Structure 1
Amino acid sequence: MKRALWHQMNEWAKKEPISMHVPGHKNGTIGSMSFLQAKYDVTEITGFDDLHQPETVLKESMSSVTRHPDYDAFYLVNGTTSGILSVIHAFQSLEGRVLLARNVHKSVFNALDLGGQQATILPTIVDEQSSQYVQPDMTKGWLSSAKLSVVTYPNYYGQTFDVSETIQRFHANNCPVLVDEAHGAHFDLDGFPVSAMNYGADFVVQSFHKTLPSLTMSSILFIHKNAPQREDVIRLLQTFQSSSPSYLLMASLEVANDFYEGYDSQLFFERRQQLLGALSACGLSFKEMNDPLKLLIYRPGMSGDTLQQVMESVDIYVELSDSHHVLWVLPLWHTGDSYPFDDLITRIHNMVFVESMTDTESTQQPLYTGSGRYEPQHIAHSHWVPFEETEGKVLAQHLVLYPPGIPSMLKGEKVTEPMIELMSKWCDSNVRVEGLQDGKIKVKDD
């Protein structure tokens, strides 16, 4: 047996890579991973309860996650996606539209498609510093007759906004709020932004695994004690999660919560300052986000893709690159961690930048579809076509830059010349786009 994946993982580990990406345990160097043993990979035997009807140890474990007294915590073993699907589908039978910020995750659109729910995409403000969507524009009269709203806070780049005002505006129009706080599991720690739970959001879902030391796919859905459709959401968690949940994932959530409860951020900010000095010393520039855990790094005249390659040449692995930058997700350094911080500083100084006349800083790739309506689509018949030949045809699936997993072009849209130009830029810059394969996209049959 070839075991191709195991071979790839083993060869990668031999490089002693340094993680500046998710998950938050950073190759097992942050927090404690001592529970990762096969003997703990148990199932619903006597004494271990049932996630689909927690009554004993799992109920006690989830009750220990007390981020805010107004919320109950529910473990997710199928990622934040399962929480998003459960919340949105719980509103399927109600009248009205779902309101979306433009930078919602692809799972939101999948949930709408599953339930045949219509949505309004709110105008969403773009930040000049990152050229990314940040917050919905609440000045327009879009809020009437909505049954649910979905916003992303923070965005993938760690940018926040006045989520308190946004929640208040929705609630003033009797519209419940789901906050995708996937990248904010560490919020409310000293020196970091505040969680939307402080402002009464009805549902807040956090990817513990992204910034805290838990295993990938382990997340938590926080449900306000007075949230509408609360019991329906809890019931649907059984639908959208495995009936054989991983106890290792759930144990990692418990351990990560203990880590959070006892965390002292002083060492983090000390090391972060040293890191910024090292980046500056080797000729790199950076943009600091609202969330200190995120860092946007660039070198004038160099594309993000090339900068990523330079970093990977010294085995520093980044979260993503865009046309201008690379994005780092910093570790929550702590006393006693085994993170190779000194080695990181050394590798930064060992990076070699070869200036090239052909590697000029590229034009920032535009964000595409703006505000408007989203109608759930079921396209039964489709085929693959070279993207250059698709003007006027209807997209049969979303085109999603991954990461961050936000659809740039939506299923059901007619392809235009500017869209084709953007696809060409994607191909030239080697970004990963779900739905764009070998220069082809899937379109609806004529």
Structure 2
Amino acid sequence: MSLLRILFDSNPRFALHLPVHGRGEALPPRLKDLLHRQPGCWDLPELPEIGGPLDVDGAVAESQALFAARMGVDCCWFGVNGATGLLQAALLAMAAPGEAVLLPRNAHRSLIGACELGGMLPVFLPVPFDEDRGHPGAMTADGLSRSLEALPDLCCRLAAAVLVHPTYHGYAAEIAPLVDRLHARGLPVLVDEAHGSHLAFAPGMGLPPSSLTTGADLVVHSLHKSAPGLAQTAVLWQRSTRISSTSVRLSLQRLQSSSPSALLLASCEATLDWMLSTQWIRILQRRLEQARRLHECLDRHGVPLHESDDPLRLILNTAAVGVSGLEADTWFMNRGVIAELPEPLCLTLCLGFARHRGLAARLRHLWPLFIKEQGRPSLAAVAAPPLDSVQVAELSPSSVAHRPSLELPLHQCADRIAAEMICPYPPGIPLLVPGERIDHLRVQWLQLQHRRWPEQVPGMVKVLA
């Protein structure tokens, strides 16, 4: 099937995946108006009146300055390479080659890429792991304090720290004390808030606080994962107390396209403007109320759900009825319910900002059929990975990239140094990073993951020769 055929497919489906505008339903009105005009009229270069994210003049520069002022920060940059490009640019601006950075164990693979690009040494901080769900949770303040006390002596300067808030599944970190404790250590803080952009635009709605309210130095928001913009759009917010805007600008320049899409830049502007409007507040309130009612309805009808701090995430506990989320994903997809994230023990749906009329009835109807056709005794929990302490990569990812390597079966990789990343996508959280030494416990855990998730966790791994 061709890509064009898929894009032209107009069959009604429940699109419970990213982007969260629900196949266009929840796009900002001004962006919808633009897309309804003559095709291609918006495909423009960096004309002087438009400019780009790194220009000091033009419409884009004016928009960025306006949004920075409205959000109470010093600088704002639009991104057209997703949260990935902005996370990488932000981290490269915070640390020099040969320096170390603190990363939570559930950091996105883009940050490992930044370490490789910038010659930085990742120091991994443990995060809680929920064995019944089979995936990581959110960092706690007490956990961070223990990790900071246990930091080993490093061979290089520790330059910066990264936090994830919320996680892919909507679990919120204790973000304010986390930022405070890292600042107390003299470290600038970058927060990956790609899955929590809406938190900054939801005053008084009972959602976790955004890291923008905590004094974090750099915050990256995706504008399609948790905001109703087009795919590949994002925004970077900066406070310049600890990181200079010049450093960020130079870093962005290294990674930024010299021909950014005018359509994607317009999507950034329209999305942020829409989310700062009173109309958006009303829409978000309705969506949250609908999501909470959906959770209550499914719970009453015996559909097993895991709790999340974000009502717009619906996590089906498929393991409770003996089915992996991977099998469940195929079953539901064939019946018109397209989920976001299948995992060995659960299936996560992103409700997003579209209305999804009839979803509750559809899921109530499908769940008994699903159990009848697929149900078995409950699945065993996923053992927590042996990553419950601070771990320093033995080599920086950049120093591994060009060394000779060989591919070995997992059981032969004990005490070898990894030469590649093992990273199920989604969610894009590495289970193994280049430069890490693979001990026996990690080998055993990866073998278990391979048996449960063979399409995503390979049985062969590249290691240094």
TM-score w.r.t. structure 1 length? 0.88
Q: What are the within-5 Å matches in structure 2 for residues 325-340 of structure 1?
A: 325-333=346-354, 339-340=355-356
The answer to whether 1:100 aligns with 2:103 is: yes
Identify if the C-alpha distance between structure 1 residues 357 and 62 changes in structure 2 by more than 3 Å, giving closer, same or farther: closer
C-alpha contact (below 8 Å) 1:391/1:415 kept by paired residues: yes
Q: Structure 1 stretch 125-134 or stretch 244-253: which is displaced more?
A: 125-134
Identify if the C-alpha distance between structure 1 residues 9 and 56 changes in structure 2 by more than 3 Å, giving closer, same or farther: closer
Equivalent residue letter for 1:289? S
Q: By how many angstroms is 1:183 displaced?
A: 0.8
Equivalent residue letter for 1:410? V
The equivalent position to 1:224 in structure 2, one of 230, 233, 239, is: 239
C-alpha contact (below 8 Å) 1:125/1:137 kept by paired residues: no
Counterpart CA distance in 1 for 2:131 and 2:453 is 24
Q: What are the within-5 Å matches in structure 2 for residues 40-439 of structure 1?
A: 40-66=42-68, 68-93=71-96, 97-126=100-129, 130=133, 131-135=135-139, 137-139=144-146, 140-141=148-149, 146-188=158-200, 189=202, 190-262=205-277, 263=280, 264=282, 265-280=284-299, 282-299=301-318, 300-302=320-322, 303-333=324-354, 339-342=355-358, 344-351=359-366, 352-353=369-370, 354=372, 360-364=378-382, 366-370=384-388, 371-374=390-393, 375-377=395-397, 378-379=400-401, 380-430=403-453, 432-433=455-456, 436=458, 439=459
What secondary structure does 2:159 align onto?
strand
Counterpart CA distance in 1 for 2:166 and 2:211 is 10
Counterpart CA distance in 2 for 1:201 and 1:97 is 19
TM-score w.r.t. structure 2 length? 0.85
Q: By how many angstroms is 1:95 displaced?
A: 7.7
- The residue aligned with 1:18 is 14
User: Which whole-Å deviations, capped at 9, do the CAs of 1:211-244 have from their partners, x for residues lacking one?
Assistant: 1111111000001132323311112111111111
Counterpart CA distance in 2 for 1:386 and 1:127 is 28
Identify if the C-alpha distance between structure 1 residues 57 and 361 changes in structure 2 by more than 3 Å, giving closer, same or farther: same
User: Which whole-Å deviations, capped at 9, do the CAs of 1:348-396 have from their partners, x for residues lacking one?
Assistant: 1331223557674243253354421123132422233343444444321
- The residue aligned with 1:336 is none
C-alpha contact (below 8 Å) 1:323/1:365 kept by paired residues: no
Q: By how many angstroms is 1:258 displaced?
A: 2.3
What secondary structure does 2:235 align onto?
strand
Q: By how many angstroms is 1:282 displaced?
A: 4.6
- Is there any run of 5+ residues in structure 2 with no aligned partner, and where? none
What secondary structure does 1:295 align onto?
strand
Q: Structure 1 stretch 303-312 or stretch 353-362: which is displaced more?
A: 353-362
- The residue aligned with 2:33 is 34
- Is there any run of 5+ residues in structure 1 with no aligned partner, and where? 334-338
Identify if the C-alpha distance between structure 1 residues 282 and 308 changes in structure 2 by more than 3 Å, giving closer, same or farther: farther
Counterpart CA distance in 2 for 1:147 and 1:226 is 15
What secondary structure does 1:396 align onto?
coil
Q: By how many angstroms is 1:398 displaced?
A: 1.0
User: How many corresponding residue pairs?
Assistant: 432
Identify if the C-alpha distance between structure 1 residues 358 and 420 changes in structure 2 by more than 3 Å, giving closer, same or farther: farther
The root-mean-square deviation of aligned C-alpha atoms, in Å, is 2.6
Counterpart CA distance in 1 for 2:464 and 2:235 is 37
Equivalent residue letter for 1:137? L
Identify if the C-alpha distance between structure 1 residues 101 and 23 changes in structure 2 by more than 3 Å, giving closer, same or farther: same
Q: Structure 1 stretch 256-265 or stretch 245-254: which is displaced more?
A: 256-265
Q: Structure 1 stretch 224-233 or stretch 53-62: which is displaced more?
A: 224-233
Q: By how many angstroms is 1:427 displaced?
A: 4.0
Q: By how many angstroms is 1:317 displaced?
A: 1.2
Q: By how many angstroms is 1:324 displaced?
A: 1.9
C-alpha contact (below 8 Å) 2:97/2:118 kept by paired residues: no
Identify if the C-alpha distance between structure 1 residues 356 and 196 changes in structure 2 by more than 3 Å, giving closer, same or farther: closer
Counterpart CA distance in 1 for 2:128 and 2:144 is 6
User: Which whole-Å deviations, capped at 9, do the CAs of 1:79-117 have from their partners, x for residues lacking one?
Assistant: 112222222222343885312221111121221122222
Identify if the C-alpha distance between structure 1 residues 91 and 151 changes in structure 2 by more than 3 Å, giving closer, same or farther: same
C-alpha contact (below 8 Å) 2:16/2:337 kept by paired residues: yes
What secondary structure does 2:116 align onto?
helix
Counterpart CA distance in 1 for 2:166 and 2:444 is 29
User: Which whole-Å deviations, capped at 9, do the CAs of 1:18-44 have from their partners, x for residues lacking one?
Assistant: 121211211111133332342111111
User: Which whole-Å deviations, capped at 9, do the CAs of 1:149-208 have from their partners, x for residues lacking one?
Assistant: 111111111111221111111111211111111111101303322111111111111111
C-alpha contact (below 8 Å) 1:369/1:409 kept by paired residues: no
Q: Structure 1 stretch 274-283 or stretch 17-26: which is displaced more?
A: 274-283
- The residue aligned with 2:4 is 6
C-alpha contact (below 8 Å) 1:181/1:206 kept by paired residues: yes
C-alpha contact (below 8 Å) 1:153/1:179 kept by paired residues: yes
